[in-house]
Amino acid sequence: MTAKQINAGILGTGYYLPEKILSNSDLEKIVDTSDEWITERTGIKERRIAANDVATSDLALKAAEMALKDAKVSPDELDLIIVATLTSDRIIPSTACIIQDLLGAKRAAAFDLSAACSGFAYGITVASQFIQCGAYRKALVIGAETLSKYINWEDRNTCVLFGDGAGAAVLGQVEDGYGILSFDLGSDGSGGDAIQIPSSGSRMPVSNESIEKRLNLIHMNGKEVFKFAVKAMGNTVKHSLEKIGMKQEEINWLVPHQANIRIIQSAAKRLAMPMEKVIVNIQKYGNMSAACIPIALAEAAAEKRFKKGDIIALSGFGAGLTWASCIIRWSKED
């Protein structure tokens, strides 16, 4: 007799943002750009920047603490911690292990997950599998980045896009019919060069020469990424819906990766969703990679925009190239 699958859902959310705000007018003073140019092309007005002595784990810890409090879950109840990031504190140990120690989550397994801007959707998909099969009961998934430390502040095409922040969610068992209903994960490694930090690993270790050439910083082919993203964002949600026989008209909220307002608008159009049903905070924070979706989700939840039973679609894309989506029936009470 086959055991009944456990329903895994979000029990609580949290987020944290650095205090420092870098506005478009601030950027005008350091690079050849303008508020009008940035706003028209990206929808970004300002972004948050971590202090020099603040690491990704510092942001992640505060988001995690907020999520645990919201979920009414103590650190010693956690079985698993996943940190989705491309700006880990160090190559080793993992940022997740640092968080495990700082929280005092002594029972929890911990690892980092690298899927760039799709990372949080990948992370909650992975965590939900452990819960659904009964292996684990409680999991903490964090998307956290300090991208400002990897930006070429002389490149106006990339330095205007990125910001720092962290968002988190606690996952556990929820009632029947609620929680994560479906997911879609994908990748196309042939597009890996479209978004990369060339000198950051064993292929090209960081050296004085690579630093002089700014190869240790983010490089992006904006046109290629844009073409990929406008298709991927909407299509991945459609694939998740198809798996459970759900129609796009049934979606109550879309929580997309916050890379570019035009990409978000394109995804909404593909899904026939009015923009008032799309969670958008790109104007305040810019692109925070793996932190975008969980921060948008946590902010909206804190504002009580979601009601129990709402169908929420998460959709992301990122370096790799990767894409990911999840369909969630919201289980939390207002």
Q: Which domains does the chain have, with CATH numbers?
A: 8-177 (3.40.47.10), 180-329 (3.40.47.10)
Write down the pLDDT at residue 333. 81
- Output the pLDDT for position 4: 72
Find the Cα–Cα–Cα–Cα dihedral 127, 131, 136, 141, rounded to 10°. Answer: 30
Residue 3 pLDDT: 60
> How far from 298 is each of 10, 139, 315, CA to CA, in Å?
11, 16, 15
Task: Give Cα 168 to chain centroid, integer Å.
Answer: 9
Among 289, 288, 229, 296, which Cα is nearest to 264's?
A: 229
Q: Which of 117, 159, 292, 326 is catalytic?
A: 117
Report in angstroms the alpha-carbon separations of 293 from 119, 198, 201, 243, 312: 9, 26, 27, 22, 12
Nearest to 80 by CA among 104, 62, 99, 107: 107
Annotation says 239 is catalytic: no
User: Which is the catalytic residue, given 257, 260, 292, 326?
Assistant: 257
pLDDT confidence of residue 331: 95
Strand-strand pairing, 253-256 and 311-318: parallel
The catalytic residue among 7, 24, 260, 287 is 287
Which residue has 């964002």 as its token pair? 233
What's the pTM? 0.96
- The answer to whether residues 178 and 323 touch, using CB atoms and an 8 Å cutoff, is no
Which residues of the chain fall short of a pLDDT of 70? 1-3, 334
Q: Is 117 a catalytic residue?
A: yes
Q: Are 83 and 58 in contact (CB under 8 A)?
A: no
Exposure letters 1-12 (e unless 16+ CB within 10 A, then b): eeeeebbbbbbb
Nearest CA to 283 among 258, 265, 304, 306?
Answer: 258
Alpha-helical runs (H) found in 167-319? 208-212, 222-243, 261-270, 282-285, 292-302
Give residue 5's pLDDT: 83
Q: Is 52 a catalytic residue?
A: no
